[in-house]
Amino acid sequence: MKNLDGFFKPKSIAVIGASRTPGSLGKMFIESVVKYKYTGQLFPVNPKADQIDGIPCFPTIESLPDQIDLAVILVRKEYALPSLEACGQKGIKNVIVITAGFKEIGGEGIEREEQLKAIAKKYNQQIIGPNCMGLINSEEEFSLNASFSPTEPDSGSVAFISQSGALAVAILEFAKNLRLGFSIFVSMGNKADLKDIDFIEYVAGQDRTKVITLYQESIEDARNFLVKAKEISHQKPIIILKGGKSSAGQKAASSHTGALASSDSATQAMFDQSGVIRVKTIQELCEVSLAFSTQPVPGNDNICVITNAGGPGILATDAISENGLQMARLSENTIQQLKETMPEEASANNPIDMLASAGHEAYAKCTEIALQADNVGAVMVIIVPPPVDTTPRKVIETIAEARKVNPHKPVFFVVMAQHEHEGGELDLVTELSIPIFDYPESAAQAIAAMRKYDKWKRKKTGNIRKFKVDSVKVRTIVDRLKNEKREHLFDEEVREVLMAYGFPTPRFTVAKSAVEAIEFFRKLNSPVVLKIESPKILHKSDTGGVKVNLTSEEEVESAFSEILSNARKVVSDEEIKGVMVQEMIKGGREVALGMFQDPNYGPMIMFGLGGIFVEIFKDIIFRIAPISDVEAQEMIESIKGYAILAGARGEQAVDFDIIVETMLRLSQLITDFEEIIEMDINPLLTSPVAENTKAVDARIRIKL
């Protein structure tokens, strides 16, 4: 873990490029630092000024006193590197490079960024930026605003790490309106040196930071990010707003999996596997953070809504179910207690409609009763102003007092339709550490995010099982392909790989003549499937190369000649290796397994329903390999077609254990051999009987 105290808790800061010119960056920067009441020493560097706003200036970096904790470079791009070099010689180890004109402009900028990295390496410096907006530490002891943010964030427990400076401004502004407070803010810019995970690790170790939020566009060292984010998510929630698309996965026509993966598949897998909470908008980022930073996580999905108007109660009910939560069912006893505190016309059924006449005492009493109900995980209190004879502020204050009986259950406030919150109730967000939302939808969304996080945290990690396999055999095959500069394994090589790694495969032979095919059929004494065997034919059924459920010698014979004559229409005789005769798997439901290499995350595993379900409905899911047994099971359960496998309409469920095992074997194979860049098992025929589950068709491609 990197020590970033020099950035966030510096005792002294040199500002290279400080200026007296009103409106210039160099002037604005000094003003920000002064205005936020920085507690350390400030050393502006400017050859032409002897002081800026009364602070003495230094003409050069060399002339600065020794032992400066942090330098901020905001000179023109031509001077940025010499300044960094001079900082290095002066022994300054932490540098924020605000200056733009690096990698982001392409061309010479890329070269300049490489030089920047080289200088930093030479002097063992840590760099934030270049092309960034700086940072803020709201901790009173330091009160550091080393940024250009026009909004000074309130102090609080949310750390905010942003790749884009401009977007950060928007987020800080939005957060201010919600009264969401920040522990630190940092704008990372081009991330030439310090990156997302460095900041995440740093704030994870801070007591003041309870929630970690990010705006992220690109991800570096994605695997490392996944591992560390997963670890940290167990301690503190990480919330990410992801901007832009990650580079698309490789799309080879020969592979279903590669072609099916969208540019977001890997990113989504990363979020799901690491427990990181993904939000889609700035608003959601702020609101979910507000919920996490002020309330305990609800212990279950059952929400109780208390309102003084019917309409919002109905909207809340809708939002709760749309977000995968439930309206809590209240017991007779709870309902009775509620009735005793409310007028007769009021409704004691969830949503509890206290009617417009409800005062703060009644609100508090009802909230207290709801919080005491065992099955209620959280209470959403909706106030539609103006409440009669009271104010939203008074209602919230009274509830906050009353809920002390049950501080472990969260309460979410919604104050609706009151323009600008004139009653000053928003100040209570900070004073009482409670969340106030404008709409029930926002509250429901935030609660749902908390519940999802809680479920992830409680989940078993599972095992990454290791099977006894013949990896030497696969190594030989892979090396052979590399030597021959051949990308695709021949069918027989694919079968060897499958067998070496213990995949369940059907009995088969490759017949050169109809007589051989019939002989195998006789020996097997059960229905067979015939398939063309040719390295030139990848999609066998498309060219009439597959005949299933052949039950007699006559059928086998005519299928054999039909397949051959179909094949001869598209390939020459030398390209036909024979016809495969395979045991027919009866009554199976088809699933597809696959893998491809994501440029950021490496090998990814896919699971989905086979056949047209894969191609048309894209009912598939991806995970970053290796996967655990729990993750494999989760993948299976997460697709829409799961119900089909689990036995819809009285059908028997398929055997899931063997599917999980097959997925784990695939996971092991592709982690053992990074040369495998695409693989499909389509279909894996599944069945209620484990022994009847077989990989009947597969393809493998390697990287040369």
- The burial class, CB within 10 Å (0-12 / 13-18 / 19+), for 460 is exposed
CA gap 309, 259 in Å, rounded:
51
Task: From 13-21, 221-229, 376-384, 580-588, give the range in contact with ligand ADP by CB under 6 A.
Answer: 580-588
Contact (CB, 8 A) for 81 and 108: no
Least distance (Å) from ligand ADP to the CB of residue 589? 10
Name which of 339 and 539 has its Cβ closer to ligand ADP. Answer: 539
Indicate which of ligand ADP, Mg ion, none lies near residue 296 (CB less than 5 to 8 Å, by partner kind). Answer: none
- Nearest approach, Cβ of residue 529 and ligand ADP (Å): 4
Binders of ligand ADP among residues 589 to 628 (CB under 6 A) are 590, 611
Residue 628 vs 687, nearer CB to ligand ADP? 687
Q: Cβ closer to ligand ADP: 235 or 549? A: 549
E strand residue ranges, 384-527: 411-415, 436-437, 508-511
* Nearer of residues 451 and 540 to ligand ADP, judged by Cβ: 540
Output the CA torsion sign for 161, 166, 168, 171. Answer: negative
- The pair phi, psi for residue 643, each rounded to 5°, is -55, -35
Of 101, 296, 502, 506, the residue at the interface with ligand ADP (CB under 6 A) is: 506
Site for ligand ADP (CB under 6 A): which residue of 397, 441, 491, 697?
Answer: 697
Stretch that binds Mg ion, among 27-35, 403-411, 479-487, 674-682 (CB under 5 A): 674-682
- To the nearest 10°, the Cα dihedral for 407, 239, 141, 71? 180
Give the nearest distance from C-beta 375 to ligand ADP in angstroms: 47
Cα–Cα nearest to 147, from 177, 172, 120: 172
Q: Which of 16, 664, 696, 700 is in the footprint of ligand ADP by CB under 6 A?
A: 696
Nearer of residues 120 and 679 to Mg ion, judged by Cβ: 679
Of 511 and 529, CB closest to ligand ADP: 529
- Alpha-carbon dihedral 302, 306, 312, 313, rounded to 10 degrees: 50
Site string for ligand ADP, 531-550 (x = CB under 6 A): x-------xxx----x-x--
Q: CB of 547: closest distance to ligand ADP in angstroms? A: 9
| 507 binds ligand ADP, rule: CB under 6 A | no
Looking at beta carbons, which residue is closest to Mg ion? Answer: 697
The span from the CA of 321 to the CA of 195, in Å, is 38
Q: At closest approach, how far in Å is the CB of 458 from ligand ADP?
A: 38
Q: Which is nearer to Mg ion, 491 or 697 (CB)?
A: 697
Site string for ligand ADP, 267-296 (x = CB under 6 A): ------------------------------
Q: Site size for Mg ion, by CB under 5 A? A: 2
Q: Can you tell me the distance from the alpha carbon of 302 to that of 523, in angstroms, rounded to the nearest whole number?
A: 61
Instruction: Check if the beta carbon of residue 226 is closer than 8 Å to that of residue 273.
Output: yes
Residue 6: CB minimum distance to Mg ion, A:
58
Q: According to the binding rule CB under 6 A, does residue 585 interact with ligand ADP?
A: yes
Among 116, 158, 381, 529, interactor with ligand ADP by CB under 6 A: 529
Nearer to ligand ADP, 145 or 582 (CB): 582
* Residue number, 258 or 313, with CB nearest to ligand ADP: 258
Contacting ligand ADP (CB under 6 A), which of 216, 582, 628, 687? 582
Long-range contacts of the stretch 247-251 (C-beta < 8 A, 24+): 247/599, 247/600, 249/596, 249/597, 249/598, 249/599, 249/604, 250/596, 250/597, 250/599, 250/677, 250/678
Strand ranges for 559-675 from DSSP E: 578-583, 589-598, 602-609, 620-624
Instruction: Work out how close the CB of 480 gets to ligand ADP at its nearest, in angstroms, rounded to a whole number.
Output: 23
Tell me the backbone φ, ψ of residue 30, rounded to 5 degrees. -60, -40
Region near Mg ion per CB under 5 A, out of 64-72, 269-277, 288-296, 690-698: 690-698
* CA dist list (Å): 188 to 111, 426, 443, 704: 19, 31, 30, 37
Residue 219 Cβ, how far from Mg ion at the closest point, in Å? 34
DSSP 253-321: TT-HHHHH--TTHHHHHHHHHHTPEEESSHHHHHHHHHHHHHSPPPSSSEEEEEESSHHHHHHHHHHHH
| Tokens 């409609």 -> residue | 353
Q: How far is the CB of 198 from ligand ADP (least distance, A)?
A: 46
Residue 146 interacts, among ligand ADP, Mg ion, none and using kind-specific CB cut-offs from 5 to 8 Å, with none
* Interaction mask 626-665, ligand ADP, x per CB under 6 A: ----------------------------------------
Contact, 533 vs 510, CB < 8 A?
Answer: yes
Q: Which amino acid does the sequence have at 617?
A: F
- Judged by CB under 5 A, the stretch of 19-27, 474-482, 500-508, 695-703 that binds Mg ion is 695-703
Please choose which of ligand ADP, Mg ion, none residue 582 contacts, taking the beta carbon within 5 to 8 angstroms, the exact cut-off set by kind. Answer: ligand ADP
Using CB atoms within 10 Å of the CB of residue 499, give its burial: 0 to 12 exposed, 13 to 18 middle, 19+ buried. middle
Instruction: Return the residue of 302, 697, 699, 702 that touches Mg ion, per CB under 5 A.
Output: 697
Q: Give dist(CA 128, CA 94) in Å, integer.
A: 8
**CB atoms near residue 679 (< 10 Å):** 27
In the complex with ligand ADP, the residue whose CB is nearer, 6 or 506, is 506
Judged by CB under 5 A, the stretch of 41-49, 142-150, 380-388, 691-699 that binds Mg ion is 691-699
By CB atoms closer than 10 A (0-12, 13-18, 19+), residue 522 is: exposed
| Residues 410 and 296 sit within 8 Å (Cβ to Cβ) | yes
229 binds ligand ADP (CB under 6 A): no
The rounded distance, in Å, linking the Cα atoms of 312 and 316 is 6
Q: What angle do CA 676, 678, 684 make, to 5 degrees?
A: 110
Backbone angles phi, psi at 474, to 5 degrees: -65, -40
Residues of the shown chain interacting with ligand ADP in the complex, contacts defined by CB under 6 A: 506, 529, 531, 539-541, 546, 548, 582, 584-585, 590, 611, 683, 685, 696-697
Residues of the shown chain interacting with Mg ion in the complex, contacts defined by CB under 5 A: 682, 697
